[in-house]
């Protein structure tokens, strides 16, 4: 091996490394596009799920909660809340049970006063989110 690192050696390393990582990027992109249809959850996407998503956004739930790892870390992860609370009825009961006034000295979820249709839509949205193949994320049931 030479003791001197020449410009042509540096150029060859640069081009070789660039080519390697471009090919790696293309292979991983192809693999992702190949596996996404297997993980897709579109057949469960209904108008009620879309309404629940709109309510999620309008009430800024992501300002406190995370959903599949995205959002604020003030309140629990909701990607698996459907499983944690035992289904839609558990979710609806929890949301309805929030006190009108916050508990002094504690962080607590506000009472949004959703009607039955809105509660059902939010529960359907959280059910839909729980059925997304997240490759076992979050790693524990509590989120």
pLDDT tens, residue by residue, 53-63: 999 999 999 99
> pLDDT value at position 1?
57
Name every residue whose Cβ is closer than 8 Å to that of residue 102 and which is 6 or more positions away in sequence: 108, 110
In angstroms, the first-to-last Cα distance of the chain is 53
- What is the rounded average pLDDT of the residues 99-115? 84
Instruction: Give me the residue spans of the domains in the chain.
Output: 1-39, 42-143
> pLDDT value at position 12?
96
Architecture of the domain defined by 42-143: Orthogonal Bundle (1.10)
122 and 56 Cβ atoms separated by less than 8 Å: yes
Say whether pTM exceeds 0.75: no
- What is the rounded average pLDDT of the residues 96-115? 85
> pLDDT value at position 143?
58
Is pLDDT larger for residue 35 or for residue 118? 118
Residue 138 CB-density burial (10 A; 0-12 exposed, 13-18 middle, 19+ buried): middle
125 and 53 Cβ atoms separated by less than 8 Å: yes
- What is the rounded average pLDDT of the residues 19-29? 98
- What is the rounded average pLDDT of the residues 86-92? 94
| Residue 91: pLDDT band with limits 50, 70, 90 | very high
Tens-place pLDDT, residues 25-84: 999 999 988 887 777 677 788 999 999 999 999 999 999 999 988 888 888 889 889 989
Q: Tell me if the bond preceding 49 is cis, omega within 30° of 0.
A: no
């Amino acid at each position: 091996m030479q003791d001197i690192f020449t410009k042509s050696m540096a150029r060859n390393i640069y081009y070789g490394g660039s080519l390697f990582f471009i090919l790696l990027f293309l292979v991983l992109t192809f693999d992702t596009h190949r596996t996404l249809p297997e993980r897709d959850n579109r057949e469960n996407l209904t108008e009620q799920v879309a309404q629940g998503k709109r309510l999620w956004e309008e009430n800024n739930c992501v300002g406190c909660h995370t959903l599949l790892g995205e959002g604020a870390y003030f309140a629990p992860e909701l990607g698996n809340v459907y499983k944690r609370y035992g289904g839609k009825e558990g979710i609806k009961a929890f949301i309805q049970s929030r006190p009108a006034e916050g508990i002094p000295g504690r962080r607590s979820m506000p009472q949004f006063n959703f009607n039955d249709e809105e509660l059902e839509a939010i529960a359907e949205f959280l059910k839909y989110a729980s059925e997304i193949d997240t490759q076992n994320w979050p790693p524990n049931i509590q989120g």
